[in-house]
Structure 1
Amino acid sequence: MVETKQSGPGTSEPGSARQRILDTASRLFYESGIRAVGVNTLAARAGVTKVTLYAHFGSKDGLVAEHLAERDRRWRETLARVSAASETAEQRLSAVFDGYEEWTVADGFRGCGFVNAGVELTDPEHPGREIIERNKDGIRTWLTEIAEAAGCPDPSDVAEEWFLLLEGAVVRATLRQDATPLHRAHRAALRLLREEAGG
């Protein structure tokens, strides 16, 4: 199941200092890269002191992890929304592609924020790595559930092929600054679904 955002210790009230820091970090990390953005810049852009930033997140690594966790929550909300009216396996699969396209276009074709972060966070012990893996595993799980519902003989294998189509199409769309690769990958995924479910 796709989880929706919950209130709690890890969330922030709109307009709070914590939320301003998180919003600023999310924008700058995605636009400029995690390593390129320092704590001084983050604090200044958010209109807070470094002491305030550290009080809320503990460290830059903590802020990076929370940025990724917030991005993951927003992605899950998007997937739940675009899938809400889907009844068939085809509709549910199409909704995933719609969600990917929505994010790719809205993000200005800058690529997948989780992949971009993964390239920078080379330390396997970095707290952000677990969140990146959780995001990608969540997508695979969602796709596997669609393949199972469609009656595919090997749902996990089909899901992995869909996942590769999605991720590869995002890279190609980013390079071309054009959503066409996602449309082509979508058609290929539907063909695979029909072949597998019909077999």
Structure 2
Amino acid sequence: MEPAQHPARIRMTPAARRVLDAAERLFYTRGIHAVGVDLIAAEAGVTKKTLYDRFGSKERIVVEYLAGRDERWRLLLGDHLDAVAGQEPAARILAVFDASRAWAAEYGARGCSMINAHAEIEDPAHPAYAVITAQKAWMLELFTTLARETGSSDPGRLGQTLMLLHEGALVAHGLGVLPEPFVRAREEARRLLAGG
């Protein structure tokens, strides 16, 4: 898997790491707009001056939060794809759904951080907007590439359909409206790939 293409990352001193860890926990559980720098600094055990010295702005903390989650997701997904290397192309597609289920169990009780952030950040000028949209564009390209490997006559359409199944499972998981949405989406993807 290629590395994530994000803006230049901030060098993580111990204080910066504490800020980012606190921000990630707070942003994910409470929402980005609901969390201010005072709370982040207090939770991290640093002064606001230290927070601003390391990050410069709350917006930059949001960028680091989302870019860090995206990088960890890509690593976990890469491990899942590597585990089925050499198998039939359909197995690689299904591995994406398996990776999402594993990610959600460990890091995603409240759904997809990118989808959640996009609900709060609609302005394309916000520095985190590019991280959000790039992550989803990357996922669509991944599904399209994997669809092409199956020999599909229309890999673009198949990639889009797989993306819709995947994103629907992410949203359903975050909302808690369906039991085992990743298992269900994986089964629908398997049927689609089998032509049934």
TM-score by length of 2: 0.90
Amino acid paired to 1:33? G
* Cα deviations by residue, 1:127-178 (Å, 9 ceiling, x for unpaired): 1110001110111111111111110111111011001001111222232366
The residue aligned with 1:189 is 189
Compute the displacement of 1:194 (Å).
2.3
Correspondence for 2:50 among 49, 52, 57: 52
RMSD of aligned residue pairs (Cα, Å): 2.2
The residue aligned with 1:71 is 69
After TM superposition, list the pairs within 5 Å mapping 1:106-145 onto structure 2: 106-107=106-107, 109-145=109-145
* Cα deviations by residue, 1:93-114 (Å, 9 ceiling, x for unpaired): 1110011111222235311100
**4+ residue stretches of structure 1 with deviation over 4 A?**
none
Query: Unpaired runs of 5+ in structure 2?
Result: none
Compute the displacement of 1:179 (Å).
5.0
Aligned residues: 194
Query: Unpaired runs of 5+ in structure 1?
Result: none
Q: Distance in 1 between matches of 2:45 and 2:109?
A: 28
Amino acid paired to 1:85? A
Correspondence for 2:24 among 12, 23, 26: 26
- C-alpha contact (below 8 Å) 1:4/1:77 kept by paired residues: no
* Cα deviations by residue, 1:24-81 (Å, 9 ceiling, x for unpaired): 1111100000011110000111111111111111100111111111111111111111
Amino acid paired to 2:113? G
Q: Distance in 2 between matches of 1:16 and 1:158?
A: 45
The residue aligned with 2:105 is 105
Between the aligned residues of both structures, percent identity stands at 41
The residue aligned with 2:9 is 10
Compute the displacement of 1:188 (Å).
0.9
Q: Distance in 1 between matches of 2:28 and 2:134?
A: 19
Amino acid paired to 1:31? T
- C-alpha contact (below 8 Å) 2:10/2:55 kept by paired residues: no
Q: Distance in 1 between matches of 2:61 and 2:11?
A: 13
